[in-house]
Amino acid sequence: MMNFRVLQQALIDTLGAAAKARFRVTGYRGQGYDAKEVKDNNRLVQAYYASGDFPKSKGRFTGDTQHVMTFNVDFSVSASAKADLSVLTDSGATPARVQAALTASTDAAYEADVLLDEVIEYAYQILMDGRNVDLGLPVGTMSSRWVDRAVKGAPQPHGSLVVLTGQLQYSCQVVEEVTGDEGVLAGSGSVTTQLDIDGDDIEQTFVDN
């Protein structure tokens, strides 16, 4: 197994071991969740391999290569509003209901922002903790680990909830061993070859046994 896959699992395991009911950790799920799933301390953290570079200047034509990897650590949180925010898109809503929904949305967005900032801080402190420099892997497995960037999205109303997302980018470098691909042996009778000679209406079929 290539090291980028090992590192991805180690990243998930390290965050998960430190979560302690403050958030939940998974691999990549995309946006396949309901807003209620990430409410309050059910905050969702997704860690996954996002991209990698194999610098030619640090490798050889054959043999092991250097792999400079970037992992995304995505955050999803939600907070309750004291009004149904769907009225904001209801053309028939009264001005009073719209105003109430706007106020509720602002309050919930602030609460979601606090929840997001908190979980970003948790994850940053966990990943940059000197005790986690190797993510629990043997010393020397990886190098140059760093949290490079943090970004936050805009609040999104979902019924009576406001959802907010963010992301940390975590990078490191490993050596990838190039072992080649052994392939998969074909089973008996699984390969069929048909010879069709132009101008000849007799075809011959050969089955590999």
Residue 10 predicted with pLDDT over 80: yes
- Mean pLDDT (whole number) for 167-192: 82
CA distance 162 to 98: 16
| Residue range of the domain that includes 108 | 3-207
The CATH number of the domain where 142 resides is what? 3.30.2000.10
Specify the number of domains making up the chain: 1
Whether 152 contacts 166, CB under 8 Å: yes
For position 62, what pLDDT does the model report? 78
For position 11, what pLDDT does the model report? 97
What are 152-159's contacts with CB under 8 Å, separation 24+? 152/113, 152/116, 152/120, 155/105, 155/108, 155/109, 155/112, 155/113, 157/81, 157/85, 157/86, 157/88, 157/105, 158/35, 158/78, 158/85, 159/35, 159/84, 159/85, 159/86
Residue 29 predicted with pLDDT over 90: no
For position 80, what pLDDT does the model report? 82
Q: Which helix (H) or strand (E) is 145 found in, with range?
A: strand 142-152
pLDDT band for 98, please (50, 70, 90 cuts): low
**Lowest-pLDDT range of 19-23, 24-28, 205-209:** 205-209
Average pLDDT over the chain, rounded to an integer: 85
pLDDT band for 9, please (50, 70, 90 cuts): very high
Taking the C-alpha atoms of 156, 158, 160 and 164 in order, what is their torsion angle to the nearest 10 degrees? Answer: -40
For position 32, what pLDDT does the model report? 65
